[in-house]
Structure formats: structure tokens, C-alpha cells
Amino acid sequence: MSSKILKPVSNGAGAFVLQCRKLVFNYCEHWGSSKGMVDYIKKDLVNFARENPQIEIVVQQRKAKHPVVRGYYLNGRDKVICTRNMQANEISNKVNLLQSSSGEKLRLLAKKPVVSTTESVRGIWSPFHSTSHTI
């Protein structure tokens, strides 16, 4: 009898699990800042939902509030993007951004501390390393 030991599937190895689990669209029908959101919901949201059946889509009306798109992720975090006065194509870009992001907190990559075995290229400076100066 031969049996195979299978490694547990991690994200990207064998199967990809999309991190975005739910998108909530909030808008107000009476406010002018929600015009682009209403257009996006009427025209493009159905196609987005068909292309992404693994994401739960919720549309909620919020009176007297600016429109927002809120993404919920598998790690328990959520991200909110205000879509005030945006056109439908701009909202589509923001929805794709929420869909493809991981839900992790944004970190600055440029200010990463340097880890090294030597403290500097020239070594530690000491006044005793230089030649003596006379005044």
C-alpha cells in the first residue's frame, strides 16, 4: 500500500484563495456626490459580481452620507474608500484595488531598518584611530 503525504495548501501553492470576502457599497440617492456610485451600481456592478462569485456584494443606502466602498478581508480587517464625486470608471478602479488587496495594513518599505553583521562599511569611528593633530 502506498500512500502520499500531501503538504497543506498555502495561498499561491496549488490553489489561490482571494483575500477579499465581502464588498459593501453605501450611497445616498439624493446627494450629488453619489451620482457616480449610482451609475456604477446600475451599470457595472452586476458584471463585477458575475466575474467574482466568491465575493459577497452588499448594496446599502445611507441617507445624507457620502458614498463609500468597504472591503472586508479574511484576516478580519476592512478597508474603506470614500468615492465622493468620483465617476463610474474611477469607482471601478477603486473596487478592483479593494478586490486585489490583501487586507494587510500598509507599511512603508523605504524606512526598513538595515540589519547587518558589521555596523558600518568603515567601522566604528574613534578619535584614537586618526593621526594625532597638533595645534
**pLDDT tens, 46-87?**
999 999 999 999 999 999 999 999 999 999 999 999 999 999
Range with the largest mean pLDDT of 6-20, 35-49, 103-117: 35-49
| Residue keyed to cell 473596487 | 95
Report the helix count and the strand count for the chain, using DSSP H and E: 3, 6
Are 68 and 81 spatial neighbours (Cβ–Cβ below 8 Å)? yes
Q: Which residues contact 69 (CB under 8 A, 6 or more apart)?
A: 23, 24, 25, 26, 80, 81, 83, 91, 94, 95, 98
Q: Which of 76, 79, 63, 67 is nearest to 38 (CA)?
A: 67
> What is the spatial order of strands in the sheet that 78-82 belongs to?
56-61, 20-27, 68-73, 78-82
Res 36 pLDDT > 90:
yes
Least confident of 26-30, 62-66, 109-113: 109-113
* CB atoms closer than 10 angstroms to residue 86: 21
Q: Which of 81, 21, 77, 78 is nearest to 52 (CA)?
A: 21
Task: Provide mean pLDDT across the span 30-38.
Answer: 94
Q: Which of 1, 5, 3, 42 is nearest to 25 (CA)?
A: 42
